[in-house]
Amino acid sequence: MRAIKGHVTVERCNFCRQTSQNGDVNRLTSLSLATALIFVTIGCSNRGEETAPLETSVAPTDAPGTESTSDTTLAPESPTVMFGDLESPCGPAIDGITPTIKADENGGSADALQVATPSDKGNSFVPGLNGELYDAGIAFEGWCNAQGGIAGMPLKVIDADAKLFEVPVQMENVCSNAFAMVGGGWAMDDQEFPRFHECGMIDVAGFVVTAAKSQADNTFSPLPNPSNKKDQGWFKWAVAAYPEAMQHFATVYSDILTAQVVEQQYREGAAIIGGVTVVDQIPYSSVGETSWLPIAQRLKNSGVRAISLVGVPEVLPQLTKALDELGYTVDLIMVDAGFYADVLINNGGSSVEGVVVRTSYALFEEADRVPAVQDYLDMMSTYRPEGKVSGLGMQSASAFLLFATAAKNCVINNNGQISRACIVDEVSKVREWSGGGLHAVASPGNNEPSPCYQMITIKDAKFTRLYPPLNPTDADKALIPTATITEDGWACDKSTLVDLTGDYGDVSIGKIAK
């Protein structure tokens, strides 16, 4: 962890605890996004023209060319507030438009736009679980209201803490008091249904977990993660960079259902991309292995040269240390976004040097060149200084920016009225979204992951960019001929966005009954 202004603490990717199919917590670690999700998809360009927010700057009281009635000098027009490369969707009332909201869609109130942010932070197993979601929501509330709200409508964030096992209770809280769910997520999000649709709720989520939620009606995410479509660019990178090693590939995964589903998705995606031969699939106990030496020995006996582990970053060092103890070195260990966490380096030491992580988040290490990351850190420092920041927190902030942009466009395009139907309509138009640069661009409007990624590695006990480099050579560009390396440091390849056909869960419960 490292301090960033005002005592804000960075915990890059605190992924939430893995949960079993019957709801029991099988493994509780210090990660903050449900391990059922574990990996989020990533994107590759700037935000779309369809969703560019309109200007909200306020003209001076005395317009240019008219005689001032005061002795003071005419004030210049207020500068436009930005969040990264995104013009702020927050600000005072727009001239000639009075924002309104239906009280019956807003907990009986018409005075402030009330949104609920789900989390599981109050659970007794791991207090604070996913708390950065709520922290980001409170910070955004302060940041937005300081500008005047959304087109003059104040924003109010409601705490929807399900404590892991109280999703139905919190769904009643949401239905009774909130206009929408924004910027949050529950580990057991399939338990929202059918109440979610019964009360006409909408959600611009910080993350989704289950197949049902990932493809649910009236649910959007700044980084979509549908169960039936995934970006497999990282496998194409691995095949290009380590062609021989990927002919001796193994998966190591937790024995709970959610991890098994992710492992199956890996293998299906890798088979579609090609160039990968799976020589072993090794489950490990979600409640802890007595010793990792047998698993390390099995990898050695199978001649494994490349590994992907499904789980949480606390687990991987146990495997890498066991491999070191055997004196067995694999060419590549690659893991997904949840492993961009300091605990991996702190627990793994030299054994995790060279581990490669695929991520969708702009890097904290590159905040000096990515304005949105610094804006997020500044927002947290100013309005939630005691809060926790992480990649997941940035994702929550992106969800709030997306919701606020849609709400402002409703005011402009819907005679001042903010309604749930209008929010759904406006977000559905969004085909490119990066939260101002907080993450790679994805397509919330059609729930499609973006075929872009960034590979980072651990070098000298620090996370550092690996591929693509910021100043790519011809050799870098030729490594994957079908990929485009963008100016902002993403590798994008539409050929790696693949449809999965496996059975990864019941999606029907998230659909509105016809």
What Cα–Cα distance (Å) separates residue 439 from each residue in 288, 343, 361? 33, 22, 4
Q: Could you tell me if 93 and 157 are in contact, meaning their C-beta atoms sit under 8 angstroms apart?
A: no
Asked, as a colleague might, if the bond just before 468 is cis with ω within 30 of 0, I would say: yes
Q: Could you tell me if 119 and 184 are in contact, meaning their C-beta atoms sit under 8 angstroms apart?
A: yes
What Cα–Cα distance (Å) separates residue 86 from each residue in 59, 273, 338, 423? 21, 34, 26, 19
Architecture of domain 229-363+450-499: 3-Layer(aba) Sandwich (3.40)
Nearest Cα neighbor of 330 from 369, 364, 280 is 280
- Which tokens is 56 given? 């909200």
Fold agreement between 2-47+84-227+367-448 and 229-363+450-499:
yes
Q: Could you tell me if 326 and 296 are in contact, meaning their C-beta atoms sit under 8 angstroms apart?
A: yes
Q: What is the pLDDT along the chain (514 residues), one digit of tens a residue?
A: 333 333 344 444 433 333 333 333 333 333 333 333 333 332 332 222 233 332 333 333 333 333 333 344 444 456 799 999 999 999 999 998 999 998 999 999 999 999 999 999 999 887 888 899 999 999 999 999 999 999 999 999 999 999 999 999 999 999 999 999 999 999 899 999 999 999 999 999 999 988 999 999 999 999 999 999 999 999 999 999 999 999 999 999 999 887 898 999 999 999 999 999 999 999 999 888 999 999 999 999 999 999 999 988 889 999 999 999 999 999 999 999 889 888 899 999 999 999 999 998 899 999 999 999 999 999 999 999 999 988 889 999 999 999 999 999 999 999 999 999 999 999 999 999 999 999 999 999 999 988 889 999 999 999 999 999 999 999 999 999 999 999 999 999 999 999 999 999 999 999 998 7
Distance CA 83, CA 455 (A): 25
- Strand intervals (E) in 98-148: 100-101, 113-119
Q: What is the pLDDT of residue 14?
A: 38
Distance CA 223, CA 43 (A): 8
- Which tokens is 18 given? 């893995």
456 backbone dihedrals φ, ψ, rounded to 5°: -120, 160
Distance CA 463, CA 416 (A): 46
Q: What is the pLDDT of residue 127?
A: 85
Q: What is the pLDDT of residue 33?
A: 35
Sign of the torsion angle spanned by Cα atoms 278, 279, 281, 284: negative
Q: Could you tell me if 133 and 397 are in contact, meaning their C-beta atoms sit under 8 angstroms apart?
A: no
Note the residue count of the chain.
514
Return the SS3 of 452.
strand
Q: Which is it for strands 229-231 and 497-499: parallel, antiparallel or unpaired?
A: antiparallel
Nearest Cα neighbor of 426 from 418, 438, 434 is 418
Q: What is the pLDDT of residue 216?
A: 97
422 backbone dihedrals φ, ψ, rounded to 5°: -70, -40
Distance CA 215, CA 224 (A): 9
Q: Give domain limits for the chain.
A: 2-47+84-227+367-448, 229-363+450-499
Distance CA 201, CA 171 (A): 10
For the domain 2-47+84-227+367-448, what is the CATH superfamily, name and number?
Response regulator (3.40.50.2300)
Sign of the torsion angle spanned by Cα atoms 438, 442, 446, 448: negative
Q: What is the pLDDT of residue 360?
A: 87
Distance CA 85, CA 70 (A): 37
pTM, entire model: 0.82
Q: Quickly list H helices, 274-390.
A: 293-301, 316-326, 342-348, 371-383
Per-residue burial over 277-302, b = 16 or more CB atoms within 10 Å of its CB, e = otherwise = ebebebbbebeeeeebeebbeebeee
- Which tokens is 84 given? 């990264």
Nearest Cα neighbor of 395 from 140, 68, 147, 122 is 140
Nearest Cα neighbor of 361 from 339, 380, 381 is 339
Per-residue burial over 459-475, b = 16 or more CB atoms within 10 Å of its CB, e = otherwise = eeeebebbbbeeeeeee
